[in-house]
Amino acid sequence: MEKYVKIKKLGEGSYGIVYEALNKLTGEVVAIKKLKRKCTLEEECKNLIEVKALRRIKHPNIVKLKEINGENGNGNVFLVFECMECSLYDRLKNIRMVSFSESEIKSLCFQLFQGLAHMHGNGYFHRDLKPDNLLLSKDHGIIKIADLGQARETDGEPPYTDYVTTRRYRAPEVFLRSSVHDPAVDMWAMGAIMAELFTRQPLFKGDNGGEVLYNICSVIGSPTESKWKLGLQLAVNMNYQFPDLPGVPLASLLPSASSEALCLIATLLSWNPCLRPTAMEALEHPFFDDVTPPIHVNKDLPWKRALLKPARSSKI
């Protein structure tokens, strides 16, 4: 790592510490993630889920892994990424920045669904989508999915870890410790993120799982046998009693959102994972009929299909 000079610490998560750094040879500014996990062998490093996923799924709306660097002898592993300007969380919490317009929200969410469609289509789901893990370009026109440390393969063997996704964006089936979950958990998170883009406030707050589930019920109404029979069974299995709440119209919480936006968010926030749209289906929603492509898209190609083709890559 001698060719890099650390500039500043950008953040720290469960799996690593991220620094902004300068490549002394090229002058390029990059983001370097020092993994907390040690790897003594090169093959062990290549088999880390984040490394496997990023080497396979290359897409304009997924952060680019530029280099894998291990320090012989001490087991340290460094992942070198392209450097983005800030996270969506930083942007939402910056009181000096004006709120996103619906056209901006439309463009950002469409890009995210493009990235997720590619990710899911290539055999992975993220499991930790939240504003902190969504990175914006300098002019805030481009957004990319980052931090795949908790990603899983879609055909992976259960049971899955029940602690995935920050509480405010965690799908109900994860709270209820379902032994199996799938890309639908990413779609729930996208519903919560979309709502937050309109208000700059999390839709489902809470200091623990019970509080968040209560707030979910207060917004979308408690689940019933017809809405999500399996969820009620999961709740019984863990001795959880859903509160009896009717919910409220989403329009009352998101007054600036269009009817098309409200419709998409409501569908993404379905109790039953099977009723949430896939990323591909979300891209076809009427909310995106007049979406404006960001600068990185070849406007000569059909916009809604331009970024959906899976990348060719060899398996690890």
CB 107 within 8 A of CB 292: yes
CB 27 within 8 A of CB 47: no
The answer to whether residue 128 is catalytic is: yes
Q: How much is the pLDDT for 245?
A: 97
Catalytic residue among 90, 128, 132, 155: 128
pTM of the model: 0.89
CB 165 within 8 A of CB 181: no
DSSP-derived pairing of the beta strands 77-82 and 86-87: unpaired
Q: What is the CA radius of gyration of the chain?
A: 20
Q: How much is the pLDDT for 11?
A: 85
Q: What CATH superfamily is the domain 4-82?
A: Phosphorylase Kinase; domain 1 (3.30.200.20)
* Per-residue DSSP letter, 78: E
CA distances from 79 to 83, 214, 311 (A): 12, 39, 21
Q: How much is the pLDDT for 73?
A: 64
- Please name the helix (run of DSSP H) or strand (run of DSSP E) that holds residue 182, with its range, or none: none
β-sheet bridge partners, residue 213: none
CB 32 within 8 A of CB 18: yes
Per residue of the chain (316 residues), give pLDDT as tens.
Answer: 789 999 999 988 777 899 999 999 999 999 999 988 888 777 778 888 899 999 999 999 999 999 988 765 678 889 999 999 999 999 999 988 888 999 999 999 999 999 999 999 999 999 999 999 999 998 778 999 999 989 999 887 655 555 556 899 999 999 999 988 899 999 999 999 999 999 999 999 999 999 999 999 999 999 999 999 999 999 999 999 999 999 999 999 999 999 999 999 999 999 999 999 999 999 999 999 998 766 444 444 344 444 444 433 333 2
The residues spanned by each domain of the chain are 4-82, 86-288
Instruction: Find out whether the peptide bond into 159 is cis, omega within 30 degrees of 0.
Output: yes
Q: How much is the pLDDT for 312?
A: 36
Q: How much is the pLDDT for 292?
A: 74
Nearest in space to 116 (alpha carbons), one of 50, 15, 186: 186
With 0-12 / 13-18 / 19 or more C-beta atoms within 10 angstroms meaning exposed / middle / buried, residue 74 is exposed
Residue that the structure tokens 């408690």 belong to: 222
Residue that the structure tokens 């799908």 belong to: 171
CB 31 within 8 A of CB 48: no
Report the C-alpha gap between 142 and 70 in whole angstroms. Answer: 30
Token pair of 119 as six digits: 């990710």
> Helix, strand, coil: what percent of the chain each, to 5?
35, 15, 50
Q: How much is the pLDDT for 307?
A: 45
* CATH fold for domain 86-288: Transferase(Phosphotransferase); domain 1 (1.10.510)
Q: Where are the alpha helices (DSSP H) in 78-154?
A: 88-93, 102-121
β-sheet bridge partners, residue 50: none
CB 268 within 8 A of CB 109: no
Report the C-alpha gap between 114 and 306 in whole angstroms. Answer: 9
Q: How much is the pLDDT for 305?
A: 47
Report the C-alpha gap between 33 and 18 in whole angstroms. Answer: 4
Q: How much is the pLDDT for 308?
A: 45
Same fold flag, 4-82 and 86-288: no
